[in-house]
Amino acid sequence: MLKTEYIEVLSVISNKLYTSAAKVMDTASKLIPANTFCIANLDSLSTKVLKSFNRDKIMLVEGLVVDNKESYCALVTEHAQGPLLIDNNLTHPLTRDMDATQFVGGCSFIGVPIRTAQGEFYGSLCSFDQNFYQYQERDVELLLSLSAFYTNLLEMESTLTQLKAAEEQAIQVLEDKNNLLAVLSHEIRTPMNGVIGMTSLLQTTELSEEQTLYVDVIEKSGSNLLAMMDQILDYSKMEAGTMTLESSPFHIRDVVSHVVQLFSAEAEKKGIRLHAVYGNEHRDEPALLGDSNKISQILTNLVGNALKFTEQGEVCIIVQTEAAAKDRVTFSIEVKDTGIGLPVEQKANLFRSFSQIHERRSPGSYSGAGLGLSICRQLAELMNGKVWLKDTSEQGSTFAFAIPCSVAGLDKVQAGLC
């Protein structure tokens, strides 16, 4: 998808170039000792004066619109392959019988065509002088150079217009995709919740060992599918730039305790010790301001991965909080496991979207969309933080993330908002 910032930069550059072009025209009007200098645009019917510079006599004004049959600009584009030079418009066969000649009065004239990037006529640069100034070769060269400059400027404007149109189309496609994903998620989630609910009911009935195994598989598969749908929706929000942050007081211990409780049953079932260690056990932790749900989501992804790839041993969550300024702190959380570690050749793909690191090593053994770590990275960066792989070996892996936060005011804490 095209980046809006990139197009905005091009728009600023384009506007500045047009401003510069006006100054160049002003300078050119001074270099050519004629009375009036102008740039005009024409379509199939009429000509419009876009910019004009007059010295002693007002011969043309900006915004003037005339029919092409009475337009000197049209003469330039229709009757000249290059510059059109007229020493006396009162006697020249192209202009002597035109009503426009009576309008501007007797004068000498020079005009050069301006073409678009596609070679079509855009308009012309023209100069008029009521004293019948005799245009020199250097005047012609100056106007031709200005014409080439405007052609390049118009090409940039055309490219910018195309980029804007492409961005709008890309945004629409992305919006349609997000809407489709939201609808699909709802349509899939409703029956899957029913399936998971029925499996819970089945588990309360008398089942054979084989039936219990089947029910467990159904429940686990359904839960995995719902988790995958959540990840895909989060990813689509990130790509669309619609993911927003909340800011409210929270305690980091509460976030960690919630995640530990969330996975305690799974860890117990696998015989894995899941616990948290705090680096500042003897200090009062301040209430922080931030999006605790997003922080919990990162930690949930990391702990979930650690449990998924650990068959024995432990998963340890290590929490550190460091003061960054008077009212700012940065907390870091490490998730250390005793699992299978990561393939060395796959480290570069860790935080890429749809990257399933262990798929080559054990095809089909580990489910997932390959979006968990990518979402962690994007969420951390959204909160001006970062997430990284601290260590990995055959004895396990350690992932870490750090998020800067403001310290919540005492008035909010005492009001019970955290």
Tell me the pLDDT tens digit for each residue of 256-277. Answer: 999 999 889 889 989 999 999 9
Longest dimension (CA), the chain: 111
CATH of domain 4-164: 3.30.450.40
List, for residues 335-357, the tens digit of each pLDDT value: 999 998 887 666 766 766 545 55
pLDDT at 40: 86
| Mean pLDDT over the full length of the chain | 79
All structural domains of the chain with their residue ranges: 4-164, 172-240, 248-414
Looking at 59-136, list the stretches that DSSP marks H as alpha helix, in order from N- to C-terminal side: 72-79, 99-104
Torsion sign, CA atoms 94, 100, 102, 103: negative
pLDDT at 289: 92
pLDDT at 255: 93
Q: What is the pTM of this model?
A: 0.49
List, for residues 391-407, the tens digit of each pLDDT value: 888 889 999 999 999 98
Contact between residue 144 and residue 150 where contact means Cβ atoms under 8 Å apart: no
Closest CA to 115 of 159, 82, 84: 82
pLDDT > 80? residue 167: no
Distance between CA atoms of residues 81 and 102, nearest Å? 26
List, for residues 5-34, the tens digit of each pLDDT value: 555 655 666 566 666 666 676 677 677 888
> What is the assigned CATH class of domain 172-240?
mainly alpha
pLDDT > 80? residue 190: no
Contact between residue 369 and residue 231 where contact means Cβ atoms under 8 Å apart: yes
Same CATH topology for 172-240 and 248-414: the answer is no
pLDDT tier, 163 (very low <50, low <70, confident <90, very high otherwise)? confident
Contact between residue 392 and residue 412 where contact means Cβ atoms under 8 Å apart: no
Q: Does domain 248-414 have CATH number 3.30.565.10?
A: yes
